Amino acid sequence: MDDKLQRKLSRRSLLKGAASLAGMAIVVPLALTSREALAGQKASKSAMQYQDKPKAGKKCSACMQFVPGKSASADGTCKVVAGSISPHGYCIAWAPKS
């Protein structure tokens, strides 16, 4: 094998390696995000399109994920959405209490 061909093959191998590393750089953050979700971290209000008012009669106080506050009208929390949650709120994860 002459030097020119050998250098060309080496360069090709280097480029393939760089492409593989670039692919891993995308996959690793996605894996970390999934791991955080499995670790029990809550979603943000904006990601879940949370609003402080009901939508089509659906509200947090009637959702299986809602954890009531000190009184029926006080804000509570949610098992899947971070922060203070109004009993009159709503988000896209709404699911009826069984």
Q: How far is the CB of 39 from ligand SF4 (least distance, A)?
A: 18
Q: Could you give the CA distance from residue 8 to residue 5 in angstroms, rounded to a whole number?
A: 5
Q: Which residues contact 79 (CB under 8 A, 6 or more apart)?
A: 42, 65, 66, 67
15 or 37: whose CB is closer to ligand SF4? 37
Residues that bind ligand SF4 (CB under 6 A): 48, 50, 60, 63, 65-66, 78, 80-81, 85, 89-91, 93-94
Helix (H, G, I), strand (E, B), or coil: what is residue 77? strand
Q: How far is the CB of 63 from ligand SF4 (least distance, A)?
A: 3
Q: Could you give the CA distance from residue 11 to residue 16 in angstroms, rounded to a whole number?
A: 9
What's at 5, amino acid-wise? L
24 or 67: whose CB is closer to ligand SF4? 67
Q: How far is the CB of 23 from ligand SF4 (least distance, A)?
A: 35
